Amino acid sequence: MSYLIKPANYKPLLDLQQTELGITKIKDFFQSNLSSELRLRRVTAPLFVLRGTGINDDLNGTERAVSFPILDMGDVRAEVVHSLAKWKRVTLADYKIEQGHGIYTDMNAIRADEELGNLHSLYVDQWDWELVMTAEERNVEFLKKVVRKIYGSFLCTEYLISEKFPQITPYLPAEITFIHAEVLRELYPSLTPKERENIFVKEHKAVFIIGIGGALGDGKKHDGRAPDYDDWSTLTENGLHGLNGDILLWNPVLEMAFEVSSMGIRVDKRALLRQIEIEGKIERLELYFHKRLIEDSLPLSIGGGIGQSRLCMFFLRKAHIGEIQASIWPEAMRAECEVNNIPLI
């Protein structure tokens, strides 16, 4: 079911030409800044991969990949990527990227099962990145260190945009706040995960929630995460599970917690086997990606995705992702957006 949030008295701060200029500036500056902060090299990414290799990300495990037969290969099927979480790790190994360095790429995807609305489109564009790390760095403090570097790039980008467009006032706090999903649940045990996010992120403005994918104290997950890329089950020094998480910002236009990045320390062999068993996905161990990980031919890594259109939405103070990218929307939504002064591309 599609949905539409209609901010009261919404008026875009930028016209269409200014918006396109803003998008260009954000995308050019942010990827350059991020690559410098994390020592990332740009690589070329696939739009589709072969089905049955285990390389495509299955997100929450329910989304259907867009697929098609390849005529010149006997109608073997290819899938449009959902994300590049596993592909990036294979690329780190194949390119022989050294420890402390990594890669980033422009990821473009089609997610046909998305519920269309202000935040979700059929078309997904994000910066996918992956960094080679050591076994000693597989801890929460290293995770936080990397998050702070990414957040620093957010602050620099916001300042750049406010200088170019004075009508956009800098909003983000100087520091990002960290909280584990279990601690958040204990603070608001009667609320849903999204309700908890809204209350906490509204207060702190920029938050990283640790531990996404594993069951919390009530037996429920904060949110779903595939079992074979992020490590959400390793017990850390503070007695809580999880070496991954989400970056959320408070969106002043939509007045809600706004996820801009999903990331984390990736599974090692032990975490993979544990999470595959928890999720009942043992059959995946026969796939190409999983075999390479079990054989120790893939490096330890940390990585994630940062939504390009989401980030542009936030920095340009837009109410709908369709103000940033060209996609397909229900006619009823287009008509409603027009009435509410939300100009979709």
pLDDT in tens, 110-134: 888 888 999 999 999 999 999 999 9
Strands 206-210 and 177-180: what pairing? Answer: parallel
Asked if 132 contacts 100 with a C-beta cutoff of 8 angstroms, the reply is yes
Asked if 318 contacts 278 with a C-beta cutoff of 8 angstroms, the reply is no
**Tell me, what's the pLDDT at 82?**
80
Helix then strand then coil, in percent of the chain rounded to 5, is 35, 20, 40
**Tell me, what's the pLDDT at 53?**
78
- Is 317 marked active-site? no
Selection from 65, 97, 58 nearest residue 287 by Cα:
58
Copy the structure tokens of residue 308.
């390009």
Asked if 272 contacts 54 with a C-beta cutoff of 8 angstroms, the reply is no
Alpha carbon separation from 204 to 159, 175, 209, 244 (Å, rounded):
19, 9, 12, 20
Exposure string for 114-123, b = 16+ CB within 10 A, e = fewer: bebbbbebbb
- Is 325 marked active-site? no
CB atoms closer than 10 angstroms to residue 21:
15
Percent share of the chain, pLDDT over 90: 85
Asked if 221 contacts 213 with a C-beta cutoff of 8 angstroms, the reply is yes
pLDDT in tens, 240-278: 999 999 999 999 999 999 999 999 999 999 999 999 999
Q: Which of 31, 35, 126, 325 is catalytic?
A: 126
- The C-alpha angle 271, 127, 89, rounded to 5 degrees, equals 35
Asked if 250 contacts 201 with a C-beta cutoff of 8 angstroms, the reply is yes
Q: Which of 35, 83, 153, 262 is catalytic?
A: 262
- Is 275 marked active-site? no
**Tell me, what's the pLDDT at 340?**
95
Strands (E), 151-223: 177-180, 206-210
**Tell me, what's the pLDDT at 59?**
55
- Is 57 marked active-site? yes
- Is 262 marked active-site? yes
Q: Which of 106, 114, 223, 259 is catalytic?
A: 259
Which domains are assigned to the chain? Answer: 16-339 (3.30.930.10)
Q: Which of 89, 111, 196, 225 is catalytic?
A: 111
Q: Which of 128, 197, 230, 246 is catalytic?
A: 246
Reported as type and span, the H/E element at residue 302 is strand 301-307
Nearest 5°: phi and psi at 245? 170, -175
CB atoms closer than 10 angstroms to residue 9:
6
Ordered per-residue pLDDT tens for the chain, 345 residues:
568 999 999 999 999 999 999 999 999 999 999 999 999 999 998 999 888 777 776 655 556 788 899 999 999 999 888 878 889 999 999 999 999 999 999 999 888 888 899 999 999 999 999 999 999 999 999 999 999 999 999 999 999 999 999 999 999 999 999 999 999 999 999 999 999 999 999 999 999 999 999 999 999 999 999 899 999 999 987 789 999 999 999 999 999 999 999 999 999 999 999 999 999 999 999 988 999 999 999 999 999 999 999 999 999 999 999 999 999 999 999 999 999 999 999
**Tell me, what's the pLDDT at 56?**
75
- pTM, two decimals, is 0.93
Give burial (CB, 10 Å; 0-12/13-18/19+) of 339: exposed
CB atoms closer than 10 angstroms to residue 178:
17
- Is 98 marked active-site? no
**Tell me, what's the pLDDT at 61?**
53
**Tell me, what's the pLDDT at 52?**
78
